[in-house]
């Protein structure tokens, strides 16, 4: 029976207590939300859980004396960018649009890396980014003159010099004001971006091939052999000439080899990276350790991370950047969905208004099975306290659009609400409207305990993308 709000009185997640732990990557209390009052499906981002992560990241950055950036490819919910900017140093971008979003909404450092840049976009990238990382020497040579050509002879005097890192460093807080100036009072045109090269150490412990940037014949980054061959042509640092006054000089190295991994993996990766690229490290100003650092996971060794970064900085005299994505919003988001029907074909099958293919694509790509509040933990399907087993699928035509098998305390019925955990990252940024399936609404659960619907979608959003 409806209560007048359009949702069933049974819409609450089955047998969920507000303090029930999330049996995900680290235990947290479930936020006290009345899921029956929210639109379905919807993403819910918990502000308190997000701040918990951000505070930890700020503590790490301060202890290690490094800079931590939000990798927008994982989480681009810009409603939170003002909050995130209170704790992090900026944002890492993978495209012009992500860079624009960071410049407009976060107003801190903006970094960009892409495997290749478009000629018709690069001038804007140059204007709005503090760091530009190239994938290859060929890309660097192609665009170096564009960077050099936009700097006048007298502008070197405006550049902030950091003696420890021996050169140009982006100023903390480089966001623009409405007048076009950044928070330090300089226009973007007054300072060219610091340029770097992404290198491929040819070492990664990522087991899922689709996410391994160091797989054989990877297109991502320049190997040590290729870098050595190109070095004298693209910069003179290998000859001992630190030509950092050149606005198009190579100033940094970037590597990204990790995915949801710990400090032990980083320690082994750094050993390989230093062995292959160590002879260049005292001639550059910064090194970006990329993403994949699961810093906010409960079992992450933060003490070792701080020690590794400080040792690296002191040994080579460089600034160190990290750009985690998942760590920013790990376990801070949920996806609430509704059971539409129950069918049977060898087992009970529950059809939802949420879709793995449309709303949580990593479930199929990784693949993995997300936890649901009130269910048995994924992989622990058994009787006992959770005797009712269901396969959960969507209403799309894709036969493989299956989220997984779950066990519940009671039987599911149409109208039940199910709440998936850890749904802030790689969901909103990757979702789609395949089959005309609507996008989930976006909800913030505030520190004051209020649920605020900040975005809903409809037919026009679906239609406007198609022609």
**pLDDT for res 69:** 98
Task: Determine whether 141 is exposed, middle or buried from the number of CB atoms within 10 Å of its CB (0-12, 13-18, 19+).
Answer: middle
Q: Is the pLDDT of residue 162 over 50?
A: no
Return d(Cα 333, Cα 48) in angstroms, integer. Answer: 11
- Relative to beta strand 131-134, strand 194-200 is parallel
Q: How confident is the model at residue 183 (pLDDT cuts 50, 70, 90)?
A: very low
**pLDDT for res 271:** 97
Q: Is the pLDDT of residue 241 over 50?
A: no
Q: Is the pLDDT of residue 225 over 60?
A: yes
CATH of 35-47+331-464, one of 2.40.37.10, 3.40.50.720, 2.60.40.420, 1.10.3720.10: 2.40.37.10
Q: How confident is the model at residue 144 (pLDDT cuts 50, 70, 90)?
A: confident
- The pLDDT tens digits of the residues spanning 278-293 come to 999 998 999 999 999 9
- CB half-sphere exposure, 387, CA atoms < 13 A: 4
For the chain, how long is the longest CA-to-CA vector? 78
- The pLDDT tens digits of the residues spanning 88-129 come to 999 999 999 999 999 999 999 999 999 999 999 999 999 999
**pLDDT for res 327:** 97
Q: How confident is the model at residue 198 (pLDDT cuts 50, 70, 90)?
A: very high
**pLDDT for res 229:** 84
**pLDDT for res 192:** 86
How remote is the C-alpha of 151 from its chain's centroid? 32
**pLDDT for res 148:** 73
High-pLDDT (> 90) share of the chain, %: 73
Helix, coil or strand: residue 64? helix
Reported in sequence order, the residue ranges of 102-255 that DSSP labels E, i.e. its strands, are: 109-113, 131-134, 161-162, 167-168, 194-200, 222-223, 250-254
**pLDDT for res 379:** 62
Q: Please, which residues have CB within 8 angstroms of residue 127's CB and are 6 or more apart in sequence?
A: 150, 188, 189
Q: How confident is the model at residue 378 (pLDDT cuts 50, 70, 90)?
A: low
**pLDDT for res 42:** 98
Domain 65-329 is of which CATH architecture? Alpha-Beta Barrel (3.20)
Q: Indicate the domain borders of the chain.
A: 35-47+331-464, 65-329
């Amino acid at each position: 029976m409806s209560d007048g709000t359009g949702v069933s009185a049974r819409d609450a997640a089955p047998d969920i207590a507000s303090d029930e732990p999330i049996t995900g990557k680290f235990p947290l209390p479930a936020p006290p939300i009345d899921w029956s009052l929210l639109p379905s499906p919807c993403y819910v981002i918990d502000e308190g859980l997000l701040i918990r992560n951000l505070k930890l990241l700020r503590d790490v950055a301060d202890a290690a004396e490094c800079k931590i950036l939000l990798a927008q490819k994982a989480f681009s919910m810009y409603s939170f960018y003002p909050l995130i900017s209170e704790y992090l140093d900026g944002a890492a971008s993978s495209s012009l649009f992500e860079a624009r979003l960071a410049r407009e909404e976060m107003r801190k450092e903006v970094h960009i890396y892409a495997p290749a840049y478009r000629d018709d976009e690069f001038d804007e990238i140059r204007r709005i980014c503090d760091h530009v990382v190239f994938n290859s020497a060929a890309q660097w040579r192609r665009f170096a003159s564009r960077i050099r050509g936009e700097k006048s002879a007298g502008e070197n005097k405006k550049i902030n010099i950091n003696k420890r890192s021996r050169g140009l460093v982006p100023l903390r807080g480089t966001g623009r004001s409405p007048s076009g100036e950044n928070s330090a009072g300089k226009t973007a045109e007054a300072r060219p971006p610091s340029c770097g090269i992404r290198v491929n150490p040819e070492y990664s412990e990522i087991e899922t091939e689709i996410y391994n940037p160091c797989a054989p014949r990877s297109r991502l980054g320049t190997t040590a052999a290729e870098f050595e061959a190109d070095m004298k042509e693209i910069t003179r640092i290998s000859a001992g000439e630190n030509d950092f006054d050149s606005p198009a000089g190579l100033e940094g190295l970037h590597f990204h080899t990790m995915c949801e991994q710990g400090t032990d993996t980083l320690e082994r990766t750094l050993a390989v990276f230093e062995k292959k690229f160590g002879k260049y490290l005292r001639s550059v100003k910064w090194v970006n350790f990329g993403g994949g650092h699961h810093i906010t996971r409960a079992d992450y060794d933060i003490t070792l991370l701080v020690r590794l970064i400080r040792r690296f900085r002191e040994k080579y005299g460089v600034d160190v950047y990290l750009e985690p994505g998942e760590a920013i919003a790990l376990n801070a988001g949920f996806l609430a969905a509704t059971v539409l029907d129950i069918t049977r074909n060898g087992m009970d099958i529950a059809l939802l208004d949420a879709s793995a293919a449309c709303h949580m694509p990593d479930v199929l790509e990784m693949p993995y099975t997300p936890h649901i509040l009130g269910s048995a933990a994924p992989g622990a399907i058994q009787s006992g306290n959770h005797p009712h087993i269901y396969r959960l699928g969507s209403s799309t035509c894709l036969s493989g659009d299956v989220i997984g098998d779950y066990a519940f305390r009671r039987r599911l019925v149409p109208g039940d609400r199910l709440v998936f955990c850890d749904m802030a990252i790689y969901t909103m940024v990757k979702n789609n409207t395949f089959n005309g399936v609507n996008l989930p609404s976006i909800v913030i659960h505030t520190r004051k305990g209020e649920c605020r619907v900040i975005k809903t979608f409809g037919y026009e959003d679906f239609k406007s993308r198609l022609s």
